[in-house]
A and B are shown apart, each in its own frame.
Chain A
Amino acid sequence: MISLQPEKCIGCGACVLTCPKGVFGLSQVEVPLKLKLERCVLRNPERCDSCGRCVGECPARALSL
């Protein structure tokens, strides 16, 4: 089962594009300036089959199995 450390996520979206099962999504972070900050969320964690692809692709090291 995949585990996410949200405080390390940079919202790059690599996990969303890598996961063949659609486990991940992105949600916007509210900040008082006009930069679009997003963070990864586990939208469908039950679909995860622990293949580990996302772990290797996450540049922020925010994902682990």
Chain B
Amino acid sequence: MVRNLPASLKELEDWYEEFDRGFPEWYRRLRRRAREIFREKEERGEPVGRYGKDFDLLYYSPNLPPAKERLETLEALGEEQKEAVKSIGVDTKEKERLGSHLQQDTAVTYQKLLAREGVVVETPESAVLHYPWLKEFVHRLVPVDLDKYTAFCSGFSLGGAFIWVKEGVRADLPLQVCFLLETERLAQLPYILVLAEPHSKLNILSGCVMSPRCPSALHGSITEIYVGEGAEITFNLVHNFQPGFHVRPKVGALVEEGGTYIENYIERGRPESSQLFPTVILKGRNSRAELRSFFFGRGSSDMDIGGGIIFTGEGSRGEVVSRSVVTDEAKVRMRGVLKAHARGVRGHLECRSILLSEKAEVKAFPNLSSLQPDATLTHEAAVGKIEEEQLHYLMSRGMSREEAASAIIRGFLDVARGLPDPLLNWLRGLISQTAGELL
């Protein structure tokens, strides 16, 4: 059956045709194809994605707001905006940060890189104009036709970040990349591309949040990360969204010989829906990946969270860890996929959840597949309430029941890796505060 599509889709397509006019032919063709795929999927009435809550993407406008003025400093943000970005770990004074990149709605309004040779940060729109070879990297790791959402995001994205770390450059301070949503019914769709040349190191804090005055919107993104030989990338996604928000960050990464990719995801809010499934290809010999999600399912949130690792490099190692604390009427699904193709691979998958309410729901879907007898893949999954034995032990040491439960939740969610100390301490404080709110 073919659905009738709103006339606004044609207007939107025309707007993007005009917007894309100044870009290289390969980029225009790629985005036009994405819009065609979106139209076909929309006509067939396909859901937003294979997993996660379905909703009407065209309710949201990807090109809605006018351009914002550029800021001289992050301190120039309004008080409410500052509070919002601080809630996801952004330091507006930029202490102990390599640099900052801020996008408000669809416009990049601030960018500053502290003196550091060998790290390039710019918008993807300017990067495709500067570097013709980007056609070999853009929209490859997250296929445009993966689902209706990826076609939508690839064809209608505005803004994002291009981050390029050159050979041997090792930055210890995190680069903060922040996406602030301020306009109702906006589809904020940034595209992020990270290239890490051999033996480089970078820690990215990607924080996404809404302004408290914005009641509903869609935040999506596509992130593609190439980790070169012996390079190390840590990508931290920290989100704070409230009911009325759908969240769809898609991440794909490819890791070469001896390279390491670590991802930490935390959602501290209670979005209407969130779906996240980063997929990492461990292509190089002895490459390594860790995908960690730790989050709270609260209110009536619908969260479909997990990750996948495909091992094609001999001796590669990977771990997918998902931990959640679920209460109220939240619905949580935790997925994990490990696929071994190469010899000497080791992979581990862990989905664990603490369920605090009878009205909440948690399902775990571990999936292991091996085409190689020499590979070792393991998994563990557990869903249950806080164990009475643990509670009684802590209560016997003088804690109240609430204090004991809060301490257990804090320990349960303390699984982040690869973060510099200031960020790790901030994150622990955040988990502690949110754990306290639950009880």
Q: Which residue of B lies closest to A35 (CB)?
A: B228
Question: Is the Cβ of A17 less than 8 Å from the Cβ of B342?
Answer: yes
Residue in contact with A18 in the complex, picked from B141, B256, B341, CB distance below 8 Å: B341
Q: Smallest Cβ distance from A43 to chain B, in angstroms?
A: 17
Question: Is the Cβ of B140 less than 8 Å from the Cβ of A8?
Answer: yes
Q: Does B197 sit at the interface, judged by CB under 8 A? A: yes
In the bound complex, what is the Cα–Cα distance between A18 and B310 (angstroms)? 13
Give how many B residues have a beta carbon under 8 Å from the other chain's beta carbons: 29
Q: For chain A, what secondary structure do more than half of its interface residues adopt (helix, strand, loop), or is it mixed?
A: loop
Q: Does B371 sit at the interface, judged by CB under 8 A? A: yes
Given A32-B133, A35-B226, A59-B281, also A10-B254 (CB < 8 A): yes
CB-CB under 8 A from B341, the residues of chain A are 13-14, 17-18, 57
In the bound complex, what is the Cα–Cα distance between A35 and B197 (angstroms)? 6
Question: Is the Cβ of B312 less than 8 Å from the Cβ of A14?
Answer: yes
Q: Smallest Cβ distance from B345 to chain A, in angstroms?
A: 11
Q: Which residue of B lies closest to A8 (CB)?
A: B143
Q: Which residue of A lies closest to B29 (CB)?
A: A7
CB-CB under 8 A from A33, the residues of chain B are 133, 164, 166, 195, 197
Q: For chain B, what secondary structure do more than half of its interface residues adopt (helix, strand, loop), or is it mixed?
A: loop
Q: Smallest Cβ distance from A40 to chain B, in angstroms?
A: 12
Question: Is the Cβ of B228 less than 8 Å from the Cβ of A13?
Answer: no
A:1-34 near B, CB below 8 Å: 8-14, 17-18, 29, 31-34
Given A34-B198, A61-B143, also A12-B281 (CB < 8 A): yes
Q: Smallest Cβ distance from B336 to chain A, in angstroms?
A: 15
CB-CB under 8 A from A51, the residues of chain B are none
In the bound complex, what is the Cα–Cα distance between A9 and B341 (angstroms)? 17
CB-CB under 8 A from B283, the residues of chain A are 11-13
A:23-65 near B, CB below 8 Å: 29, 31-37, 57, 59-61
In the bound complex, what is the Cα–Cα distance between A59 and B166 (angstroms)? 28
In the bound complex, what is the Cα–Cα distance between A8 and B312 (angstroms)? 18
CB-CB under 8 A from A29, the residues of chain B are 136
In the bound complex, what is the Cα–Cα distance between A33 and B229 (angstroms)? 12
Question: Is the Cβ of A37 less than 8 Å from the Cβ of B279?
Answer: no
Residue in contact with A34 in the complex, picked from B143, B145, B167, B342, CB distance below 8 Å: B167
Besides A34-B167, A35-B197, A59-B310, 20 other A-B contacts (C-beta < 8 A): A9-B140, A10-B281, A11-B283, A12-B281, A12-B283, A13-B283, A13-B341, A17-B371, A32-B133, A33-B166, A33-B195, A34-B229, A35-B195, A35-B198, A35-B226, A35-B256, A36-B229, A59-B279, A60-B140, A61-B145
Q: Which residues of B contact A (CB under 8 A)?
A: 133, 136-137, 140-141, 143, 145-146, 164, 166-167, 195, 197-198, 226, 228-229, 254, 256, 279, 281, 283, 310, 312, 339, 341-342, 371-372
Q: Which residues of A contact B (CB under 8 A)?
A: 8-14, 17-18, 29, 31-37, 57, 59-61
Contacts A/B (CB < 8 Å), 12 sampled: A9-B140, A14-B310, A14-B341, A17-B341, A17-B342, A33-B164, A33-B166, A34-B197, A34-B229, A35-B197, A57-B339, A60-B140
